[in-house]
Structure 1
Amino acid sequence: MKGPKGSICPLSSEPELEEIVLTEEDEFLIMGCDGLWDVMSSQCAVTIVRKELMLHNDPEKCSRELVREALKRNSCDNLTTVVVCFSPDPPPKIEIPKSQRRRSISAEGLDLLKGCLEL
């Protein structure tokens, strides 16, 4: 592992920070350490949290589900997650219009989809 420039230690106590202006479309925030993000994409985590919120609307249960899923994916690092909801209401159900077209998906895309759906 490499550490910060000029350091022989592979660990850094300096967090990566980014400032983002929230909009009305923002539903929730997922904070997690690298034990989560090493085994799961941000989109997969959003999909899991949105599905869980529609079931019970409990951010604490959503955090626990993210940890469970990361453990199922053999995360070998520490796992900490926090879900913060910006509204007391569950997220709206997303309706996808039916299409007459046949669509295909790559093998990599299919594996990613399976990983998100295997809860």
Structure 2
Amino acid sequence: MTRQLTKEDEFIIIGCDGIWDVFRSQNAVDFASRRLQEHNDPVMCSKDLVDEALKRKSGDNLAVIVVCFQFEPPRNLIAPRPRVHRSISADGLRELQSFLDDLAKMRQ
């Protein structure tokens, strides 16, 4: 595949199937763009993508290369949202697991 680059092209993500098992294309672009806005380092961005894929429980090969076409970080096209931290107690996790186990038994 051949493509003529324009000023709008900021970077490319080349990744194996383990990345794409847990990221949709636009989701990976948004994730990488945010990381590049933070540190503008394609090597760190590649590592961040692999780390995030591991957090998302990718069970396949994980290799990714981010190639930046410009020296400046990507433009911020998304308004920043405050992060919401959510947690669940150990009791809540046990209750959820019990519910899922019961549900699985009912389907058998």
TM-score (norm 2): 0.69
Question: In 1, distance between residues paired with 2:55 and 2:8?
Answer: 31
The structure with the largest alpha-carbon Rg is 2
Kindly indicate whether residue 57 of structure 2 is the aligned counterpart of residue 58 of structure 1.
Answer: no
How many residue pairs get aligned? The number is 79
2:29 equivalent in structure 1:
46
Which residues of 2 match residues 95-114 of structure 1 at below 5 A?
none
Change (3 A) 1:68 1:95: closer
1:91 equivalent in structure 2:
74
Which structure 1 segments of 5+ residues have no match? 1-17, 97-119
TM-score (norm 1): 0.63
Task: List per-residue Cα deviations over 1:82-115 (Å, max 9, x = no partner).
Answer: 000001111122266xxxxxxxxxxxxxxxxxxx
Question: In 2, distance between residues paired with 1:69 and 1:95?
Answer: 20
SS of residue matched to 1:69:
helix
2:2 aligned to which of 11, 19, 23: 19
What code does the residue aligned with 1:81 have?
V
Task: List per-residue Cα deviations over 1:38-87 (Å, max 9, x = no partner).
Answer: 11101011011100111110001100110011111111111000000001
Question: In 2, distance between residues paired with 1:95 and 1:32?
Answer: 24
Identity between Structure 1 and Structure 2 (%): 53
What code does the residue aligned with 2:35 have?
E
Structure having the larger proportion of residues in helix: 2
Which contiguous aligned blocks of 4+ residues in structure 1 show a shift greater than 4 angstroms?
Answer: none
1:82 aligned to which of 62, 65, 77: 65
1:116 equivalent in structure 2:
none
